[in-house]
Structure 1
Amino acid sequence: MATIQKRKKSWRVQVRRKGGALSATFDTRAEAEAWAIATEAKVLAGKNAETIVQEPIAPVVGKAAKDVFTRYAKEVSPGKRGGRWEEIRIKMLIRRSRLFDRPITAITGPDMAEWRDKRLCKVSASTVNRELCLISSMFSHAMKEWRVGLTFNPCALITKPRKPRPRTQRVTEPDRKAIIAKLGWNGVSEPTTSGQWVAFSFYLALETAMRKGEILSLRWSDIDFDARHAHLDMTKNGDERDVPLSKAAMALLRIVKKREPTASVVPVRAGHFDKLFRDAKREAGLSHIHFHDSRREAATTMAPKLSNVLELAAITGHKSLSMLQIYYKPRAADLAARLDA
């Protein structure tokens, strides 16, 4: 009979058969269970304890983590919003680290801690946290749904990197003009090139606080020019939302003359969109500006015009005040001026 006990960062297994006892210590429970089964079989086959102890411990075998991850990318990721990008991220994770060539049951908490520390030398803590979240999801799914011999999630055994302080970057009038100039748009004419459509989207985001993905998902049938709102059928938090359109946002949308109901408001693919914006901000000397900073600028600009925080949350789609606070970043000088008003 085998007994397995957790001892700090290791697992101790003891096998009692025919009046004798054998024990060993392993990094993972899966290794301990595999050894127990093999050892009991050897005892039942008639081998004595001394012979068994002297035999080398066989390495853990089973499906490689990369094969399990690939299956997840094929079977699970396609059912998610943003599944295509998740598949790409999984392929990159497999390609970047030899760790995932090992059997999935042989990967331990310390292994993942070492992987985390190496990644932190190359990318930000936020990126590492996103990748750890994805890897943890794959381990959990494999443990619950597939017969791969996995009994624990090694990602749950390590500490995630401390999150950096939230961004506070605002987008000034000179910033936005410099970026759209590099994208070849003057801010008033109908966009005709992909670059001009990206500039158009940046201005629309600054007026509505919509995310880039939300803008790219819009079709002209989603725009109600009479009621002055844009309907988002699916947002980041999974809910639908009606985004009110200011006069400036309405004027911006009316620049476009041809508005087929089923056509995309912004006819640019996401990957190409990102590259164009990234190149434009770099050429403008504004590499520190992110497209998503437009959401913070819009929320901060809108806040003084609204009567309460619930109205602002209804526009931005935030469900918690703590998240909304990340996007409301007024300048101290502006607040001081309001105190004297």
Structure 2
Amino acid sequence: MPTKRQRPSGSWEFIVRRKGVLPKPISFTFDNEAEGDAYCARLEALLDRGIIPAELADEKPAIATIRDALRTYQANVSLVDSDKQVQATLADKVGGVLMRSVCYTWAETWVREMKQVEQLAPSTIRIYVGSLARCFDYLTRLPNSTFVTNPLRLLPKRYATYTDADAAVLRASAPDGDAVEVPTNTERDRRLHETEEAAIRKILAGAKQEGKQRPLALHWRGALELKFELALETAMRMREIYTLTLDQIDMERRTVFLDKTKNGDKRQVPLSSVAIAAIVRYREQVATGARDMAGWNHDGDRLLPWWSGDDSPAALRKITALLSRQYARIFEAAGCGDIRFHDIRHEATCRLFLKTKLSDLQIAKITGHKDPKMLARYANLRGSELADQLW
């Protein structure tokens, strides 16, 4: 039987207890005693059968907050170290946000705060949003998930770029007289000097690093050499190279057909005579086991040994991180540790402008750049080259 009492206001309070069924006593308030008696009678009839009405169940969703979502994602998806660090930062920044409040308005507000309050660089904002978006993508794929739409995927294309409105907010919040520097994208313009290229090739070939007694230990040395050569000769991205299969390479037509590109478009990349010679040399190394290629025989028709054929984002990110670290070691040993592998693509694109008479559109078809603005800085190189020839 429920406990009941009349309050000074005239209303009635009923308290229902049921050990082993209800997690704790539940209190109800009714305008009159008869209404309370009727409700509690119906409730106790259900409790006698072990049934708890949904409105009384003390249920907390398994994924109640963004922190819960991140933990679930990390427990079920293999992440590279860099993404783990980003997700740890996200847990500190937005971990306490309730998932039921995550919507497009929240996504816009979060991005706006990162720009107008934290003043983060656009590249940093994209890293944070991209990492959390992948977590939310995972939630939408869970069976019976209530998280149906990922609002971060609905953000406009240039969501991380500071607008005039963002700049106005930053100026308004700055102390009087202080200049405001609006964060912008910083483009890497690191060129590869010919002496640096020679030093990298020596390390790849097995030369000892200065001050070291032994050469750098490199597994699949021949594959590492080919990957460097292809990047420099074709301007292909790291992932585009390490996912190549033999049937994508047409040696007779001297082309590579790419169907796994960053922007989703398929394209054909011409092969220079240097690239063709490098592929032929590498195939011979695989056949003979030279250049540390023993044990690899183009399994699954794959050109290079690192990729298993798994197209999942987690698997691809893991290989990208692995190879990025490997080439970082090589560049460091060559005395140019500030170079990243992506800078080799930048260098290759620069050489296409400087060493060929191809048009901007033709070069864009080779490199896969979709935005003409991305190639504008390369096109300026031709003007610089002409200026060097003036008196």
Shift in alpha-carbon separation, 1:91–1:67, aligned structure 2, 3 A: farther
Does residue 220 in structure 1 map to residue 241 in structure 2? Answer: no
TM-score by length of 2: 0.55
Q: Which residue of 1 aligns with 2:190?
A: 169
- Describe how 1:271-282 pairs up with structure 2 within 5 A: 271-282=321-332
Instruction: Work out the CA distance in 1 between the residues paired with 2:346 and 2:194.
Output: 14
- 1:95 corresponds in structure 2 to 88
The one-letter code matched in structure 1 to 2:238 is K
User: Could you tell me which amino acid in structure 2 is paired with residue 284 of structure 1?
Assistant: A
The alpha carbon displacement at 1:228 in A equals 0.5
Does the residue aligned with 1:310 lie in a helix, a strand or coil? helix
Q: Which moved more, 1:258-267 or 1:221-230?
A: 258-267
Amino acid at match of 1:167: R
> Match for residue 251 of structure 1?
277
Partner of 1:267: 305
Alignment: residue pair count:
269
Shift of 1:238: 1.0
Taking a change above 3 Å as real, the CA distance of residues 204 and 127 of structure 1, as seen in their structure-2 partners, is: same
Q: Which whole-Å CA distance do the structure 2 matches of 1:184 and 1:119 have between them?
A: 45
CA distance in 2, matches of 1:111, 1:302: 37
Counterpart for residue 341 of structure 2: 291
Q: Which stretch has the larger CA shift, 169-178 or 110-119?
A: 110-119
TM-aligned CA distance change 1:199 to 1:227, over 3 Å: same
Larger Rg: 2
Using the TM superposition, give the Cα deviation of residue 129 of structure 1 relative to its aligned residue in structure 2, in angstroms: 2.2
Q: Distance in 2 between matches of 1:43 and 1:255?
A: 82
Q: What's 1:317 paired with?
A: 368
Q: Match of 1:222, as an amino acid?
A: Q
| C-alpha deviation, 1:326, in angstroms | 4.8
Query: Which residue of the partner structure matches residue 132 of structure 1?
Result: 129
TM normalised by structure 1 equals 0.62
Deviations 1:105-124 (A, max 9, x none): 4686479947997795xxx6
Deviation at 1:309, TM superposition (A): 1.5
Work out whether residues 66 and 94 of structure 1, in 8 Å CA contact, stay in contact via their aligned partners in 2: no
Q: Distance in 2 between matches of 1:250 and 1:287?
A: 29
Alpha-carbon separation, structure 1, partners of 2:206 and 2:250: 25
Secondary structure, counterpart of 2:304 in structure 1: coil
CA contact (8 A) 1:211 1:292 kept: yes
Write the distance in 1 (CA, Å) between the matches of 2:247 and 2:299: 4
Contact persistence 1:221–1:262 (CA under 8 A): no
Q: Secondary structure at the match of 1:168?
A: coil
Instruction: For 2:233 and 2:384, locate their aligned partners in 1 and report how far apart those are by CA, in whole Å.
Output: 22
RMSD: 4.4
Aligned to 2:184, the other structure's residue is in SS state coil
Measured against aligned partners, the alpha-carbon deviations of 1:286-315 in whole angstroms (never above 9, x if no partner) come to 122111111121122112513421111111
Aligned partner of residue 230 in structure 1, secondary structure: strand
| Residues 125 and 160, structure 2, Cα contact 8 Å, conserved in 1 | no
Find the residue that maps to 1:183 and give its secondary structure: helix
Cα deviation 1:209-243 (Å, max 9, x = unaligned): 11111110112222111010111121111122211
- The alignment partner of 2:205 has SS state of coil
Mapped partners of 1:133, 1:195: distance in 2: 33
Partner amino acid for 1:126? S
- Pair 183,119 (structure 1): closer, same or farther in 2 beyond 3 Å: farther
Change (3 A) 1:198 1:93: same
Partner SS state of residue 132, structure 1: helix
Q: Is the 8 A contact 2:122 2:160 kept in 1?
A: no
Deviation string 1:145-196 (CA, Å, 9 cap, x unpaired) is: 953699987x97x97673323111111221112123233358xxxxx94344
Query: Partners in 1 of 2:99 and 2:83 — Cα distance?
Result: 15
SS of 2:260 mapped into structure 1: coil
Give matches, 1:1-341, under 5 Å. Answer: 45=30, 63-69=64-70, 91-96=84-89, 97-98=91-92, 99-105=94-100, 109=109, 113=113, 125-135=122-132, 147=146, 162-185=183-206, 193-256=219-282, 257=284, 258=287, 260=298, 262-268=300-306, 269-304=319-354, 305-328=356-379, 330=381, 333-337=384-388
Letter in 1 for 2:69: V
Contact 2:86 2:131 in 1 (8 A): no
Per-residue deviation, residues 235-284 of structure 1 (Å, max 9, x unmatched) = 11112221100111111111121375844322235443222111121232
- The 8 Å contact of residues 231 and 237 in structure 2, kept in 1 or not, is answered as yes
Distance 2:148 2:300 in 1: 48
Distance in 2 (CA, whole Å) between partners of 1:224 and 1:149 is 43
Question: In 2, Cα distance between the equivalents of 1:317 and 1:114?
Answer: 31
Query: 2:198 & 2:147 partners in 1: Cα distance?
Result: 55
Code of the aligned partner of 2:251: F
Gap regions ≥5 residues in structure 1: 1-41, 48-60, 79-83, 187-191
